Structures are given as structure tokens and as C-alpha cells.
């Protein structure tokens, strides 16, 4: 039997594709377009490694216009994946089924939904910042509720988990929410929602949790914690109004608009990798990565604690500013902090990593080290004419490849099995084996 087929939206430099291919999948189509720059570095890097076949470097909105007009065809696929921005997912109005929902233009979630409606893949894996679970500030959890509800309308069961890569052995404390959806007849759920969340689900198998053998097992958890209004417009208007915190914990399951959500803790017994595991030899690191004496005080100030009066530059309003210190230099015997898109370049910054070398000098991380922190092969982003800063930007946008690989491996047997007798389809969780 051939490998199951995936397509990749918002492909960047191909983090999802690397993870999926390592997990036994074929990626047959991809889309990547950077709206803010003329040169398309990410797409260039992507095609350097994976070739041009099945890759599109155009705004996804235009691609899908062509798909709907019948002038462009995306190959058949079992799985759709993508990492996309946390934006405002509010719904202005719900139009007829045929024309769909009116959300804000340029909000990429609606493009994902458009493609899901068109091609109805059996499985979906999405990645986003963990802030998605609690945004926006004036309606905690609304955006995630809208997303879940849309997926429910399309017939998907959805699991999610906030994963800190370092808690599963990777050398970076990158925290992201992974959302796994499947058409409800693909994975019949025969256990309680709690057991699915902590033991049997795709994410629980890929990333074991401590609670698997503890309290949650005696909790049959049949009553949902949240019931999403099937009316998207009122869900969008009303969800989270007046709430101080989001109702969505770091893991959960949604079936037919019913949501069960649990706070879970990672269970990982193997050796963790740390920052020192990815470092290049000091004498191979170019001089431009070392901190100059003249910049040292600025670095120390930015990394240090502050408790000072300031004046707002634009309005002239005085205000008080305080923040704590962050480690300077960064500890190399621990996983690194999250790589941000601004990690590159020599300008001093609070958030860039700085390490002390064996000889006692201070330096920033190289592009190769940043690639390794995400699990990419060394030199992955090194295309002709690209700057160190741009390479760092790509890694700030990317993801931890090994996390995708684990999810891909767990989905694989389900994707390979085409035999799912309809009579056994369960869209409701049952407590049978709980």
C-alpha cells in the first residue's frame, strides 16, 4: 500500500513536511507566499530541498479563488496541515451554506476552512501560538471556540494540546498549540472523553501525560465542560464576554460541538536535549556572532531588571516601567528559550539568546544552531544571498519538526486503514471502556 498523502498550507521552510516525511507520509502539494517581501526566501528554501513539483508560491486566497473557479486543481489528499497566525476570527454574519461565513478579509483561518470545505481531507493538523486558546482579551477563548465550531460544522472531531517541546526531550522550550481533527468516521471514539484526552487519542499517544494512570481514569467525564452554540454568529458575539480567563485548558476534545477540556502534565522519562547539544565548535563560529565590548552594557541593561520612570515617545505621557531580569548569558545545560523572529542580527536585544563560550567570551547563536533547535538539518536555510537575520527569522516562524513527526506517526495507521465500517461510526463519546 502506498503512503498516505498530505498537503501543506503556509509551508514556510517546510517544517511540517520534514516531520511528516519522517513520520511516513508523502507531501504532494504545498503553498507558501510571504506578503511582506518581494524576495520569497521561504519558498526558495522549500523548493531547494523538496523541488518545485506540487509547490505554489502565490497568495493562498488567489490559489483558492482559482480552485473554486475550476482553473486550478489541488491533488487529492488524506491530510491537510499548516501553521498559521493567531488573528481575529470573529464572524460578521453567517451567509447561506453555499457562500459561507463572513469573517474579516485576510484572516487566514477562513482560507483553511475554505479548502477543508472544498477537499474534505480525512485528517487535519494545525499549529498556532498558545495564545489562540485565550484570545481576544475582551472575549476570552472566542477565537478558538469559533474555530472548533467551524470544524464541528464540517464534521470533524478535534483534539488539541499545548505542547512545550522541551517537555518531550527537545532542546527548545517552544510552546505551541497543536490541533488534530479527523472526520468523525475515521477514528471511532469508544472510551470516555477523559480517557481519550489522557490515553487513547492521537495526541495522548504521541505525547503521554502523567494523568493517564491517575485521577482522570475514574472520571467518566460524560458531561461536556462547554457546549458550543451551533449558531456561529451568536457564538462569535457572545462566547467569553465578561470572562476573565479562557475556559480552554491545555488539552481537550470536541465532538459535535461538545467540548471536554483538561489540564494535563507531560510524562517523559527519557534524556532531554539541551542548548549545549546543538552548539557549533567555538573556533568555527564567525566573529560577527561575538558580543563586542562596546555593546556589552546595552545587552546587560536590556536583559536586566528595570524599575524606572519613562515618557511615552509619541504622546509625551510619563509612565512607570518595571520588568524582571532574564538569564544573561543563557544557560546551556537547559533547553533554549523560544526562538523569536527577531533572533538574528547584532543589535542588542532582551530576547535574543547569548551564551558564554568555553573560552569565556559571549556570543549569539548561529543560524545553524537555530536550525538545530527546531530539529532541521544544519544549513537548511542557507540559500544564496540570504542574511543571517533572515535565516533566524525563518526559524522564529518555524516549528519543532520532531513534534510533527510524532503526530504523523500516530495518524499513519488510521490513514492507512481504509476500512471503517459506517455502522461502527461513533460521533458521540461512549463510556464503554472508561
Ligand X SMILES: C[S@@+](CC[C@H](N)C(=O)[O-])C[C@H]1O[C@@H](n2cnc3c(N)ncnc32)[C@H](O)[C@@H]1O
Note whether 172 binds ligand X by CB under 6 A: no
Note whether 398 binds ligand X by CB under 6 A: yes
Euclidean distance between CA atoms 361 and 378, whole angstroms: 23
Euclidean distance between CA atoms 289 and 392, whole angstroms: 13
Does 86 qualify as catalytic in the annotation? Answer: yes
Report how many residues bind ligand X under the rule CB under 6 A.
20
Note whether 373 binds ligand X by CB under 6 A: no
Query: Between residue 378 and residue 397, which ones bind ligand X under the rule CB under 6 A?
Result: 397
> What is the nearest approach in angstroms of ligand X to the Cβ of residue 181?
17
One-character DSSP codes across 175-205: EEEEEEEEETTTS---S-HHHIIIIISHHHH
Judged by beta carbon, residue 59 or residue 219, the one nearer ligand X is: 59
Judged by beta carbon, residue 15 or residue 171, the one nearer ligand X is: 15
> What is the nearest approach in angstroms of ligand X to the Cβ of residue 123?
17
Q: Give the cell for residue 181.
A: 481533527
From the candidates 6, 86, 228, 291, give the one annotated as an active-site residue. 86
Euclidean distance between CA atoms 121 and 39, whole angstroms: 32
Contacts of 255 (CB under 8 A, 6+ apart): 152, 157, 184, 189, 193, 427, 428, 429
Beta bridge partners of residue 83, listed in sequence order: 127
At which residue does the C-alpha cell 493567531 appear?
86
> What is the nearest approach in angstroms of ligand X to the Cβ of residue 56?
9
> What is the nearest approach in angstroms of ligand X to the Cβ of residue 176?
10
Query: Between residue 63 and residue 92, which ones bind ligand X under the rule CB under 6 A?
Result: 83-84
> What is the nearest approach in angstroms of ligand X to the Cβ of residue 72?
14
Judged by beta carbon, residue 31 or residue 406, the one nearer ligand X is: 31
Sketch the per residue contact string, 28 through 67, with ligand X: x for CB under 6 A, - otherwise.
Answer: ---xxxxx------x----------------xxx------
> What is the nearest approach in angstroms of ligand X to the Cβ of residue 97?
25
CA distances, 433 to each of 11, 221, 236, 280 (Å): 39, 12, 35, 50
Closest CA to 275 of 358, 335, 337, 326: 335
Q: Give the cell for residue 130.
A: 498558545
Sketch the per residue contact string, 3 through 32, with ligand X: x for CB under 6 A, - otherwise.
Answer: -------x-xxxxx--------------xx
User: Which of 399, 400, 411, 415 touches ligand X by CB under 6 A?
Assistant: 399
Euclidean distance between CA atoms 36 and 341, whole angstroms: 14
Positions annotated as catalytic residues are 86
Give me the residues that bind ligand X (CB under 6 A), please: 10, 12-16, 31-35, 42, 59-61, 83-84, 397-399
Amino acid at each position: 500500500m502506498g503512503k498516505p498523502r498530505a498537503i501543506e498550507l503556509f509551508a514556510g521552510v517546510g517544517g511540517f513536511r520534514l516531520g511528516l516525511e519522517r513520520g511516513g507520509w508523502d507531501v504532494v502539494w504545498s503553498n507558501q507566499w510571504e506578503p511582506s517581501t518581494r524576495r520569497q526566501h521561504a519558498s526558495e528554501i522549500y523548493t531547494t530541498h523538496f523541488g518545485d513539483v506540487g509547490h505554489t508560491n502565490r497568495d493562498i486566497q488567489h490559489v483558492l479563488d482559482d480552485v473554486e473557479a475550476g482553473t486550478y486543481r489541488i491533488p487529492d489528499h488524506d491530510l491537510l496541515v499548516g501553521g498559521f497566525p493567531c488573528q481575529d476570527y470573529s464572524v460578521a454574519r453567517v451567509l447561506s451554506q453555499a457562500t459561507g461565513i463572513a469573517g474579516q478579509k485576510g484572516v487566514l483561518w477562513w482560507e483553511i476552512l475554505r479548502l477543508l470545505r472544498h477537499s474534505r481531507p480525512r485528517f487535519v493538523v494545525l499549529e498556532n501560538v498558545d495564545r489562540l486558546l485565550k484570545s481576544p482579551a475582551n472575549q476570552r477563548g472566542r477565537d478558538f471556540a469559533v474555530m472548533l465550531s467551524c470544524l464541528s460544522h464540517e464534521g470533524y472531531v478535534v483534539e488539541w494540546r499545548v505542547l512545550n517541546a522541551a517537555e518531550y526531550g527537545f532542546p527548545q522550550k517552544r510552546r505551541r498549540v497543536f490541533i488534530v481533527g479527523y472526520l468523525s468516521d475515521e477514528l471511532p471514539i469508544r472510551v470516555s472523553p477523559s480517557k481519550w484526552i489522557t490515553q487513547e487519542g492521537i495526541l495522548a499517544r504521541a505525547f503521554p501525560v502523567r494523568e493517564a494512570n491517575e485521577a482522570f481514569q475514574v472520571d467518566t467525564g460524560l458531561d461536556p465542560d462547554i457546549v458550543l452554540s451551533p449558531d456561529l454568529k451568536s457564538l462569535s458575539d457572545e462566547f467569553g464576554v465578561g470572562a476573565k480567563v479562557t475556559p480552554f485548558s491545555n488539552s481537550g476534545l470536541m465532538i459535535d460541538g461538545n467540548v471536554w477540556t483538561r489540564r494535563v502534565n507531560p510524562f517523559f522519562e527519557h534524556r532531554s536535549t539541551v542548548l549545549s547539544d546543538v552548539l557549533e565548535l567555538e573556533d568555527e563560529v564567525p566573529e560577527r556572532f561575538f558580543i563586542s565590548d562596546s555593546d556589552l552594557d546595552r545587552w546587560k541593561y536590556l536583559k536586566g531588571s528595570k524599575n524606572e520612570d519613562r515618557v511615552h515617545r509619541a504622546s509625551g505621557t510619563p509612565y512607570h516601567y518595571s520588568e524582571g531580569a532574564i538569564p544573561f548569558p543563557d544557560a546551556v545545560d537547559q533547553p533554549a528559550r523560544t526562538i523569536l523572529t527577531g533572533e538574528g542580527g547584532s543589535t542588542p536585544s532582551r530576547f535574543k539568546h547569548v551564551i558564554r563560550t568555553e573560552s569565556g567570551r559571549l556570543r549569539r547563536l548561529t543560524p545553524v544552531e537555530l536550525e538545530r533547535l527546531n530539529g532541521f538539518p544544519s544549513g537548511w536555510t542557507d540559500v544564496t544571498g540570504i542574511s543571517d537575520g533572515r535565516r533566524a527569522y525563518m526559524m522564529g516562524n518555524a516549528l519543532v519538526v520532531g513534534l510533527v513527526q510524532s503526530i504523523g506517526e500516530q495518524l499513519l495507521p488510521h490513514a492507512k486503514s481504509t476500512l471503517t465500517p459506517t455502522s461502527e461510526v461513533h460521533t458521540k463519546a461512549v463510556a464503554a471502556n472508561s
